[in-house]
Each structure stands twice: as structure tokens, then as C-alpha cells.
Amino acid sequence: MAMTDLFFKSALLPSGWESSVRISVSEDGWIQQIMSGTSSDGCKDVPGIAVPGVPNLHSHAFQRAMAGLAERGTSSTDTFWSWRERMYAFLERLSPKDVEAIATQLYVELLRHGFTSVTEFHYLRNDIDGSAYQDPVAMGQRILSAADQAGIGTTLLPVLYRSSDFGNKPPAPEQKRFVADVDDLISDIAALKDSTANNPQYRVGLAVHSLRAVAPEDLAYAVSSFRDIDTEGPIHIHVAEQTREVDDCLAWSGARPVEWLLTNAPVDEYWCTIHATHMTAEEATRLAASGAVVGLCPTTEANLGDGLFRFEDFSNAEGNWGVGTDSHVSVSPIAELRLLEYGQRIARQERNIAAGAQDRSTGRALLQHAWTGGSQASGRSTGALEVGQRADILSLDENHPALVGRTGDEILDSWIFSGEHTPVQNVIVGGKWVIRNGHHEREEEILNNYATVLRRLSS
């Protein structure tokens, strides 16, 4: 199999910062060899400083199109729950073609800011009237088509959604586009796995929307059925995002959401708990011990007024976490990591929280979690420049004002904490150069398609 040799003036490898680095990539996008202190002879010279691409572990792609449309005050208290009503109204008009156009634009934006893969928590399943499409995986295939057009690695998670609240209450009319039977959902997952089996860019897993949307017996059956077809596939679930959810779970079961999940589900290193905002110290310690990743989405959590994650307790227990952009009020991994750190600084009135009272770079600590946790949660071999990993690589512009004169981990600190304009210059995903000098080769066409959809939706 033919290989491509990429040359970088400087690169962050597991061993540390190295100079004159050659990365050899197989035709299907895997890193086969890495050499440092070598020449660029016979290589494609990639300008900039090479670092691993960042995995985005939580996305609802269609929500990119409504970012900014729920920022008007009301006469009553505005919360996540009132935002959710606006979201329901927005999605009533979306067709599969619309979703594809929105997702493609989003994925190009994610790439330009440094995400090289995305985990799509995919619950917009049914037609506008709530009936199944003739092809039940039509929406999922549109997401994969969008990912293919953009060139981003993707983990697709079809979502189980059965009820409107704890106690298996029937779904509300506005939730009709989400509802799925367990057997039908598992069949969809199997079909999507078959269609992507020969493409290492893609992975398919299972998402359970939340404890309020899935009864215990359905949760157990779905997980068991999924494990019959994929013993190590990713399983994601929203949990404990809102205090009302915690109160309702206590009223229903006598246990808090994370407590209930850890006691009643086979949570392990293949699981990812999205948000897990409202935990006790004991829950945080138990969740860390399970090996599961917590999916943090700081800008969305801030936008919705969710609250702050119990970072200190979870970190002290050596818990794993990564970041996602969720509702896409931000499309930048750096914005997510910066807000995560700043939220903890404000709460604790201290600095350099992620560094953990050690003599190390805060930026490096934040990014290392994003790389490692994101890779684990997505079920993809990414997040490090090493042999056997996907060739998902960013190059940062060394002449960008935020990075001029920076060396070593100062580069990562300055990337996160200095300025807003992204220094991401080039992006390589699975060995393919998808962003060159900050631009995608199809960005104008993709933006025009997106704009057409938004103008129609706003008319």
C-alpha cells in the first residue's frame, strides 16, 4: 500500500516536542512511521507546528442553524427548559436535505478551528409528522454524507428516545421526530455499521438520550442488544445536566441520576456521560472509577445556564474527560477548554486549575484530556501523533500573533489563552489535507447551500 510522507518543522509527539519530523501515512489514513531529526527529502512539506487534531465528543449538528436565535429575554425565568421549547419549534421544518447542508457547514467550521473528528449524538430521526422515513436511516446517511463532504472523521450515535419524563411518560407531540423502538434502533445501527464497515473514517455506536427519556427496561435491553453486535462500541448518555433533572430523578427513584446510572447500568470505559454537571463528591469519585469519560460542553452549558462541573473532585479521582460543542454556540475546541478553565478559576478564586498544583502547562493538561478522553469516547484511534493512530493532524501558524516567539508548551498555553482568531493553518484528517491555509476547497459552495436553507427557514 502506498504511503505519503509529511514533513513538519516541529511536532508534539508522545515523547515531547521534536524538530524536523517526518510522519509516514498509509493510503487509508493510518500513521505507519514517525522519524524526528530527519530531512524533508521526498516529503510533502506542511507549514506550521504539528499537534494532534482534537476529537469533538458531542454534537447536535442541526442546532448550529439556531445558534443565536434563543437569546431574547422573556417575562418568565429563562432556562434550559424554555430553550428546549424553542429548539423543538425550530426543528419542525427541517428536511434531510436541510440537515445535510447544516451539518456540512458545521463540520467545515469545526475543522477550521481544530476539531478533526466529531461524535454526532443523532436523535433527529423521523419525518416531520413523526412517521419513519422510507429509508429509516435516511437522516443518519445525510450526516455521514455531510462528514464525507467536509472530510471530518465521524462517530455516529443513533439515539434511543422513548418517553417525555421519568416514569415512562408518553412522549410529547413535539418529540415525535425523536421516538424510536429499541429493536428498530438496533437494526438501524446494524445497517449503518454495515455501510461504514470498510471506511476507517467512521464509527457507529449507541446513544441513550437520558434517563428521563428511556425507561430502565428499555435502557437495559438497548445496551444488551447493542453489545450483541458490538462488544466495544461507544455508548453515550446525557445525565445530570440540570438541577430539575436531579430533583425529578430523586422523586422517581430515590437516587440521583449519576448514582442511579452507576448502580443500574454496566457503565465502563466504553461509556461517555454527557455533562454530568450536578453530582455529589461521591458520585464524581464513583464515575471516575468506572472508567467512563465525561463529555463536557462548557460553552453550551454556560449558554443554557446549566451550572459548573464538579471538576476538582473528578480530577482528584483521576477521571477522564473530553470536550464537545453540543449546540454549537461555539465551534472551537480552544473556546471550550478556555471556558472550562476560567469557570473553575472564578468558582475557586485560583489560577491554573487544570495543572493540578503541579509545575506543568495548563494548556498541555487541558489538551491532553481533550485528546485522550475524546479518542476514548469516540471509539476512534486518534488524539496522538504516534504509530497506529489515525493521521489526524493540525498545523499551527508559528507566525500568528498569539504564537510568535513561543516554544514548547508555551505554544499550547498561548493557543488557548491568547486571542480569539484561530492559529490553525492546516488540517489533515486520515492523511488527507482538508484545510489549507485556513480554507476548505469547497467552503463557498457549502456556505451557499447552508445560507439557502437558513434563508428559507427564516422566511
Catalytic residue IDs: 275, 326
Pairwise CA distance, residues 434 & 257, whole Å: 40
Indicate the SS3 state at residue 234: coil
Contacting residues for 445 by C-beta, under 8 A, at least 6 apart: none
Q: Which of 199, 113, 93 is nearest to 155 (CA)?
A: 199
Pairwise CA distance, residues 208 & 236, whole Å: 6
Pairwise CA distance, residues 237 & 342, whole Å: 26
Q: Which amino acid is at 313?
A: D
Asked if 90 contacts 176 with a C-beta cutoff of 8 angstroms, the reply is no
Q: Chain-centre distance of CA 74, in angstroms?
A: 31
Q: Residue 120: beta bridge partners?
A: 59, 156
Q: Residue 12: beta bridge partners?
A: 17
Cell numbers placing 181? 423502538
β pairing state of 393-396 and 424-429: antiparallel
β pairing state of 16-26 and 49-52: unpaired
Length of the chain, please? 459
Angle, to 10 degrees, between the axis of helix 96-113 and the axis of helix 443-458?
130
Pairwise CA distance, residues 405 & 402, whole Å: 9
Pairwise CA distance, residues 321 & 373, whole Å: 5
Asked if 143 contacts 135 with a C-beta cutoff of 8 angstroms, the reply is no
Q: Which amino acid is at 434?
A: V
Q: Residue 202: beta bridge partners?
A: 154
Q: Which amino acid is at 162?
A: R
Radius of gyration of the chain (CA): 21
Pairwise CA distance, residues 210 & 273, whole Å: 10
